[in-house]
Amino acid sequence: MKTVPLRSKQQGVTTVEFALVTAFGGFFIVLIGIFELGRILYTFNTASEVTRLGARTAIVCDAGDERIKSRMIALLPSLSAEHIDISYQPAGCASSAAAARAACISVTVSLNSSAQLPTVIPFVPVSVSIPPFATTMTRESMDSHNCDGGNFQ
C-alpha cells in the first residue's frame, strides 16, 4: 500500500475555512447594517412626532419655549435646545401666555439642519444628519374666545 502524505489531504481546507468566515462575517455586517438602518428610521419618525408634540404644546398649553423644548428633548434625547426653532405668527405675539392666547394665529416648530445622529456601528464613527422636520399648527380649533357656552356665535 501506498501512503498519501498528510499535507495533500489538507489542500483546500484553508479555502473552505476562508469561505465560511467570510460568509458569517458578511452576514454579521449586513445584520448590523439592518439594525442601524432601523434605528435611524425610528429616530427620523420620532423627530417628526417630536415637532408635532412641540407645536401642539405651544398651541394648546401656551407654554414657553423652554418648556416646549424640554418636552421635545425628553422624547428624543439626541436633540439639544439649539436644534429646535420655534416661531409664532404674527412675530412677537408670544410674549406671555395671555398675549399668545389673544394674538397668536399659528406656531411653527422645526428641527434645524444641525441636528446629528451618531451611529453605533463598531469601528465606524459616522453621524447622520436628521432631516429638518417642521410642523405648523393654527389656533383656529383652540380659539375659545369665539365660543359662548359651547355655542358658536
pLDDT digits (tens, 9 = 90+) for 69-122: 999 999 999 888 999 999 988 887 877 777 777 788 888 999 988 888 888 887
Say which residues have a Cβ less than 8 Å from residue 134's Cβ, sequence separation at least 6: 51, 108, 109, 110, 111
The whole-number pLDDT of residue 46 equals: 94
Whether 125 has a pLDDT exceeding 80, the answer reads: yes
Convert the pLDDT of each residue in 33-67 to its tens digit. 899 999 999 999 999 999 999 998 888 877 788 88
What φ, ψ does residue 124 adopt, rounded to 5°? -130, 90
**Which pTM value belongs to this model?**
0.72
Query: According to the model, what pLDDT value does residue 147 have?
Result: 38
